[in-house]
A and B are shown apart, each in its own frame.
Chain A
Amino acid sequence: MNSAASARIRLKGMLIKEGLQIIRDPSSIAIAFILPVVLLFLFGYGVSLDAKHIPIGLVVEQPDTNTASLTGSFSQSTYFTPEYFHSIKAADTALKEHKIEGIVWLKNNFSSQLLNGQTPDIAVLVNGVNSNQAAITQGYIEGTWVTWLQHYANLSGHAFKPTVELEQRVWFNPALNSRLYLVPGLIAIIMTLIGSLLTSMVVAREWDRGTMEAILVTPLHINEFLIGKLIPYFILGMGSMLFTVTLAIWQFDVPLLGSFWLLLLSSTLFMLVSLAIGLLISIVSKNQFIAGQISIMVTFLPAFMLSGFIFDINSMPEVTQLITQIVPARYFVAILQTLFLAGNIWPVLLANMGALVLMLIFFAIIVRKKSTNHLE
C-alpha cells in the first residue's frame, strides 16, 4: 500500500471516530442546533434595544387647551406612556422610585409665554442612572416638544426662535428595528461557540483522557490529526450557520439583501479563523477545563461585547476601540450586518474579509508551529 492510500485510511478513521463522538455527545448537537434557536428567540423577541413605551411623568401646573394639546401629543406617541402628577414633588418621588424614567414639567406661565410669542420654558428631568436610556428618553422628549412647537406655530402663525428644522431619515433599517441587526450578528456568536469553545474542549479532552498519547504513537501524523478534527467541526459550524440563516430569514423576517455566496464565503473564512483559535487554545492548555475558560474569555465574551454585535464600536472609548481590532468577530459582524441589511457593499466587505484572511494566516502558522507529535 502506498503512503497516500495509508494516509487516506488514517484520516477516514479519524473522521469516523470524530463523527461518532459528535453524534453521541449531546452537548455538541446542543451547541450547534439548539443553542442557535434559543439565542435567536431570545434576541429576536426578548431583547429589544429600541425605546418604546417609556414611562414619563407629566406635571401641568395650570391646565388649559395649550397644555392639553402638548400632553396629548405625548400620550399619542408610541414612545411614551405618560402619567399625570399634580405636583413636581409627587413626580420627583415617582422618578426616584423608578416608576417613571423622566418628567416633563409645564410651569404656570406656559400659556402666557406662548401667547406672547415666547418659547415657553419647560423643564425636563431624566433619570440618568442608565445613561444610554436617559439620552434616548431626553432625545425623544425633545423631539416631541419641537414637533409640537412647530405644529403650534403653523396653526397660530407665530414664529419661534430657535426653530430647528428636524428631519430624520434612517437608512438600511428604516423601522429602526433592533432585531434586524441583532439576528445577523448572532451568527458570529454561534460560530464562535462551535469553532473555538467546542473545538478547543474536544481537542483538549484528548489530552485529558490520555488518548492523545496513544494515537500519537501510531502512524498517525499530527497534521492528519488536526485535519481530522477540523473537518467535522467545520461541517458542524457551517451547518449551524445555514440553520441560523434559515431561521433568521423565515422566522424573523430579516432580509438578506446581499449575495448568499458571499455570506457562505465570509462564513467559511470566519469559521476557519475560529477553528484555528480553538485548536491553538487546546494545544496550549491541554486541559479541558482551562481550554473552556480561555475560550470563553478570549473568544466568546469579546465576540459578544467587542464585535459591534450589541454595543456600537464607535461609541466605545478609544482604547477599547483599538482592542476590538484584534477580535475576529468584529470583522465578521460588520460583514454580516452589511450583507443582510445593506447588500453587497464591496469596500466594506473586502476590507473586513481581508482582515479575516490575515488573521487566518496568522493563526494557522502558529497552530502549525505549536503542534508536534510530542506531549510537550
Chain B
Amino acid sequence: MTSPLQLKSVSKSFASKERPILAVDNVSFTLTPGKVTGLIGPDASGKTTLMRVMTNLLIADSGHIQVLGLDMATQGHAIQSSLGYMPQSFGLYEDLTVQENLDLYANLQSVPLEERPKRYKILLEMTGLQAFTQRLSGQLSGGMKQKLGLACILIRPPSLLLLDEPTVGVDPVSRRELWQIIYRQVADEGMTVLVSTTYLDEAERCYEVLLMHEGKILGQHKPADFNKTLTGRTFRLEAKGILYRQLLTQLEYRSDILDASLGEDNIHLISAADTPFDQAALLSDLRLLKHVTDLRITPAPAQFEDVFIATLKAQTTTLSPPKKIKTVINKTSPEDVIKVVKLERRFGDFVAVKGISFSVRRGEIFGLLGANGAGKSTTFRMLCGLLPASSGSLSVAGHDLRTASATARRNIGYMAQKFSLYTNLSVSQNLRFFAKAYGLSKSRQAERIQWALTTFELTDYQNSNAGELPLGFKQRLSFAAALMHEPDILFLDEPTSGIDPLARQEFWQRTNALAETGITVMVTTHFMQEANYCDRLMIMAEGQVLAAGTPNEIRQLATTDNQAMPSIEDAFIHLIEEHTPPQDITS
C-alpha cells in the first residue's frame, strides 16, 4: 500500500515586519497508511501552517507534496476535493442547525440523496447528536461542535483525514469521545489520519508520532520508541511532610536534573543527558529541609511528555529556569482570604451557580475544575467583582464584594482567559498601560516594568507587538500585566489553555514561586494533571460542587477495586459520569 501522504523538503515562510518567519522548515515525511499519526509540537511550531500546506490552502515555497497519489503542484483542487480536513475552527456555520450543517456538507460532497439518511443516522449516533439536530450549531458546547465538525467531514468518508488540533479547549469527556470516533473510522474505513495536538497524553494514543518544533520535524517514531530514548533517565521522587510543589522549587537549579514536574502524588524527574544524576547528593540535600521524611527516589517509566520536554529543552538554548519572583514573606496561614457562602447566580430562569460555599486560605493555590458550562467562569467573575451575585455572600481579602467591590479589586490581579492584551501595542507599551491603569506612580511604573521584563524574560521582545508573540509569550505578558500592582490574590482563568507543555511547566513554576511568597492563587484549568499543582481543588458541574479537597482526597473518591491508583482525570470523569449521564454534561 502506498502512503496517502508524502512530503519531500517542504518549506514555507511568511513575510513579517522584522524578519521573514520560516514556519515550515525543510519538512519530509511519509505517513503510514491506515494508522493514526500524531503531529505534536508546541504553539507556533508550524503545525497549522504545515496542515494548510498539505491541504493546498497555502502554497509551499519549495518542496514536493504528494497526497493520495496526486501531485500538489498540478492537482491542488483535486487534492482538496478528495481529502478530509477539519480546521481548528471546525468549519461550522453557527447560524445553521446541526442538520443544516450536515446537509451543506453532504451537498458540497455531492452525496447522493438516497444514501444520506443512512449516513446521517450513523454519524449522529456516533457523535451522540441525535437529540440536537434542530439546534443551531452556535448553541452547542465546544465538545459537541467539534464532534459535529468531524461528522461533517465524515459524511463521505475520506481515505485521508487531517485534523488540526481537534481537542483544544475541550473537556476530558468530550476528548475521549472524539478519539473513540477517530479510532472507529480507522478500524471501519481503513482511514489514514493525521492529528495535530499540543496534548502530549494524546501522543500515546497514536500509532506514530511526528515531533515538530520551530518548523522542523525532530523525529518520527512510535511513542514507545520515542520513550525508549529516555530509558534510565526518568525517576519518581516521593516524600512526606512537605508539599510537593514546595519541594519542586528546590530542584529547579540542579545541573544533573533536566526537568522536574508534579506527577500524581509524586515528583517526576528527568535526569540531564550529559551530567550524571547524583541521587545520593540530591537526597542528602533534601534531607536538610525541615519536616521532610520518607524521601525516596525510584526509577519510573518514561512518558511521551518526558520525551517532548527532554527533546525541546535540548533544542532550546535560551530557556533558563524562571527567576525567583520575591523573597518569602509568609507561608500558608490558616486565615481565609476568600470566603464564599451559598453563592448563587441566576441569568433569568437559568441558574448558573447553585448556592456554592467554599473558602481559600492565604498563600494557597486553589483550583477550580469543571467541564464547559459548569459555572467556573461565572463563579470567577463574581469573585473578581465583575459580576454581581444574585444571592449569598462573598468576601475577598476581608472586603465584602457587594459593598466594597472597588476596594476589594485593588488587591486582586486578574488574568483573563483570552489574555486581554492590546495586540498592536508592543510588550513594553502594554506593560506601561497596565501600570498606569493601576495608578502606579511614575517611578514605581518604571520599576515594575523593568521587573516584569526581567522576571518574565521579555526583554528581547519588549519592542515586538503583543499580537505577534508566540502564545506562550503572550501568556507571560498577560501574567506580568496582572502582577503590575503586586496584588495579594491572583485569579487565573484558564491560563494554560492551548499552551505547550514547556510553557505550561514554566508557568506553574512561576505560580508556585508566587504562592511561596504568600500570594493566594485561584485558578481554573482544563488540564487535569495541573490539578496536582493545587493545594486544594474543587470540581464543579452544572453550577454545583461535586467534590472539594486536596488532590489526594479527590483521587481517593474514584478509587475502586479495578482502579487502585486513579489520576485526577480519572477521578474527574468518574465524578461527572456519576453526576449525569454523559450525553447531557455539556448541554
Interface residues of A, Cβ cutoff 8 Å to B:
1, 5-6, 9-10, 12-14, 16-17, 20-21, 24-25, 209-211, 213-221, 373-376
- Which residue of A5, A9, A375 contacts B57 across the interface (Cβ within 8 Å)? A375
Q: List 9 A-B contacts (CB under 8 A).
A: A14-B108, A17-B96, A211-B89, A217-B56, A218-B105, A218-B108, A221-B77, A373-B57, A376-B58
Q: List residues of B (57-86) whose CB comes within 8 Å of A's CBs.
A: 57-59, 76-77, 80-81, 83-86
Which 5 A-B residue pairings sit nearest by Cβ, starting from the closest?
Answer: A214-B91, A13-B107, A210-B89, A219-B81, A6-B110
B155: nearest chain-A partner, CB-CB? A218
Known contacts A210-B91, A219-B81; A16 and B107 CB within 8 A of each other: yes
Question: B55 contacts which of A5, A24, A217 (Cβ < 8 Å)?
Answer: A217
| Residues of the B chain whose Cβ atoms lie less than 8 Å from the Cβ of A216 | 57, 80
With A9-B110, A217-B55 known as contacts, the answer to whether A25 contacts B95 (CB < 8 A) is yes
- Given known A1-B112, A24-B95, A213-B89, contact A10–B107 (CB-CB < 8 A): yes
Smallest Cβ distance from B105 to chain A, in angstroms? Answer: 7
Which residues of chain A are near B81, meaning CB under 8 Å? 218-219
Q: Are B86 and A214 in contact (CB under 8 A)?
A: yes
In the complex formed, the residue of B with least CB distance to A208 is B89
Q: How far is the CA of A34 from the CA of B2 in the complex (A)?
A: 59
Tell me whether A16 and B104 are in contact (CB under 8 A): yes
- Is the CB–CB distance between A220 and B87 below 8 Å? no
Listed in ascending order, the chain B residues whose CB lies under 8 Å from chain A are 52, 55-59, 76-77, 80-81, 83-96, 100, 103-110, 112, 149, 152
- Complex Cα distance, B68 from A217, in Å, reads 14
Known A10-B108, A219-B110; 14 more pairs at CB < 8 Å: A6-B110, A9-B107, A13-B105, A14-B104, A16-B104, A20-B95, A25-B95, A213-B87, A214-B91, A217-B57, A219-B109, A374-B56, A374-B59, A376-B59
From known contacts A210-B88, A211-B91, A213-B89, infer whether A373 and B76 are also in contact, taking CB-CB under 8 Å: yes
Contacts of A24 in B (CB 8 A): 95
Query: B103: shortest Cβ distance to chain A, in Å?
Result: 7
Contacts between chains A and B (CB distance < 8 A), count: 97
Q: Is the CB of A374 within 8 A of B95?
A: no
CA distance A12 to B57 in the complex (A): 24
**Contact, CB under 8 Å: B91 / A13:** no
CB-based contact A213/B91 at 8 Å? yes
**A211 in contact with B92 given A16-B104, A216-B80, A220-B108 (CB within 8 Å):** yes
Q: Determine if B96 and A21 form an interchain contact, defined as CB atoms under 8 angstroms apart.
A: yes
B100 pairs with A20, CB closer than 8 A:
yes
The answer to whether B58 and A17 have CB atoms under 8 Å apart is no
Query: Which residues of chain A are near B57, meaning CB under 8 Å?
Result: 213, 216-217, 373-375
A194 to B106, CA, bound (A): 30
Complex formed: what's the CA distance from A14 to B107 in Å?
Answer: 8
Beta-carbon contact of A10 and B110 below 8 Å: yes
Contact B55 A13 (CB under 8 A): no
Q: A214-B90, A217-B80 are in contact. Are A13 and B58 (CB under 8 A)?
A: no
Docked pose: A221 CA to B80 CA in angstroms:
9
In the assembled complex, how far is the CB of residue A330 from the closest CB belonging to chain B, in whole angstroms? 36
* Contact, CB under 8 Å: A218 / B55: no
Given contacts A17-B104, A373-B76, A373-B80, contact A211 B93 (CB under 8 A): yes
- Residues of chain B within 8 A (CB-CB) of A215 are 91, 108
List residues of chain B with CB within 8 A of the CB of A220. 108
Find chain B residues with CB under 8 A from A14 CB: 104, 107-108
Closest to A6 in B: B110
Known contacts A217-B55, A218-B80, A374-B59: A209-B94 contact under CB 8 Å: yes
Q: Are B88 and A13 in contact (CB under 8 A)?
A: no
Q: Which residues of A contact B91 (CB under 8 A)?
A: 210-211, 213-215
The answer to whether B107 touches A21 (Cβ under 8 A) is no
Q: How far is the CA of A216 from the CA of B92 in the complex (A)?
A: 13
CA distance A21 to B137 in the complex (A): 13
Closest to A217 in B: B85
The CB with the most chain B CB atoms within 10 A, among A14, A20, A214, is that of A214
> How close is A30's CB to chain B, nearest CB, in angstroms?
15
Contact partners of A375 in chain B: CB under 8 A: 52, 57-58
**Contact, CB under 8 Å: A209 / B89:** yes
**Bound CA span A12–B106, Å:** 11
Q: Which residues of B sit under 8 angstroms from A374, Cβ to Cβ? A: 56-59
Whether B56 contacts A13 by the Cβ 8 Å rule is no
With a cutoff of 8 Å between Cβ atoms, the chain A residues found around residue B109 in the complex are 218-219
What CA separation (Å) do A12 and B77 show in the bound complex?
A: 20
CB distance from B518 to the nearest CB of A (A): 44
Residue of A nearest to B96 (CB): A20
CB–CB B108/A219 < 8 A: yes
Q: Which of B58, B96, B108 is packed against the most chain A CB atoms within 10 Å?
A: B108
In whole Å, how far is B550's beta carbon from the nearest beta carbon of chain A?
A: 41
- A211–B85 Cα distance when bound, in Å, is 12
Nearest CB in chain A to that of B105: its residue? A218
CB proximity of B75 to chain A, nearest CB, Å: 12
Q: Which residue of B lies closest to A13 (CB)?
A: B107
Judging by beta carbons under 8 Å apart, are A214 and B89 in contact? yes
Rounded to whole angstroms, the CA-CA distance of A16 and B93 in the bound complex is: 12
Q: What residues of A have a CB within 8 angstroms of the CB of B106 in the complex? A: 13
Minimum Cβ distance to chain A for residue B543 (Å): 29
Q: Closest CB of chain A to B390's CB: distance in Å?
A: 30
Beta-carbon nearest neighbor of B14 in chain A: A376
**Chain B residues within 8 Å of A9, by CB:** 107, 110
Which residue of the partner chain A has the closest CB to B152? A214
The answer for the CA separation of A219 and B96 in the assembled complex, in Å, is: 21
Give the distance to chain B from A201, nearest Cβ to Cβ, in Å: 14
Q: Please, how many angstroms separate the alpha-carbon atoms of A316 and B545 in the complex?
A: 71
Complex alpha-carbon distance, A219 and B110, angstroms: 9
Interfacial chain A residues near B95, Cβ < 8 Å: 20-21, 24-25
